[in-house]
Amino acid sequence: MIEMLAPYALMLVIAAVPTGIWRAGAVVLSRSISSQSLVFEWVRFVATALLAGVVAKLLANPSGALALAPDWGRLGAVVAAFAAFMAFRRSVFAGVLTGETILILSVYFTQP
């Protein structure tokens, strides 16, 4: 019985709690700040820059099967995704579709 529950307990303690504390912490912090406060505007910029950093990190240090894509494939795919996104009047769908197509082709044609 205990062994059966171990994967669940590990997941909760090692993954869910370290992730959840940031969400819960944000709730507690927000309660003491006025909605009109400039803090929220600053925080939004921090989140935006941080997320762009997450993308750069995922592309520069890919894990698993994504690491099999050539560097030009990953960079080219995200640049093409952005170009398509802008070209089609900020269409997220066009961006994702274009990026995915280029990335999948880059792996398909470089893998032996």
Partner 1 sequence: MSSITPSSDDEIAGNHWGAAFDGIKDALRLPAWVVAAALIGVGPLAQAVGHPIGAAMASTVFVWAGPAQVLFYGGLGAGMAYPALAFVIGLSSMRFLPMTMTIMQMLRRPKQSILTQFAIAHFVTVTVWAECLRRLPDMREVDRVPYFFGFGITCLVLSTFTTAFGYVLAGAVPTHFAAGLLFLTPVFFTCSICAGARDMPDWLAIGMGAVLEPLALHVAGPEFDLLVTGLVGGTVAFMIKMNRRRTTGTLR
Binding marks (x or -) toward partner 1, 60..99, rule CB under 8 A? x-xxxxx-xx----x--xx--xx--xx---x-xx-xx--x
Q: Cβ(67)–Cβ(107) under 8 Å?
A: no
| Interface pick for partner 1 out of 71, 72, 87, 111 (rule CB under 8 A) | 111
Q: Which is nearer to partner 1, 2 or 45 (CB)?
A: 45
Tell me how far, at minimum, the Cβ of 1 lies from partner 1, in Å. 13
Q: Name 77's Cβ contacts closer than 8 Å, sequence gap at least 6.
A: 69, 98, 99, 100, 102, 103, 106
Query: Which among 79, 85, 77 is positioned nearest to 101, based on CA atoms?
Result: 77
Q: Cβ(94)–Cβ(84) under 8 Å?
A: yes
| Interface pick for partner 1 out of 2, 45, 71, 87 (rule CB under 8 A) | 45
| Interface pick for partner 1 out of 1, 2, 23, 32 (rule CB under 8 A) | 23
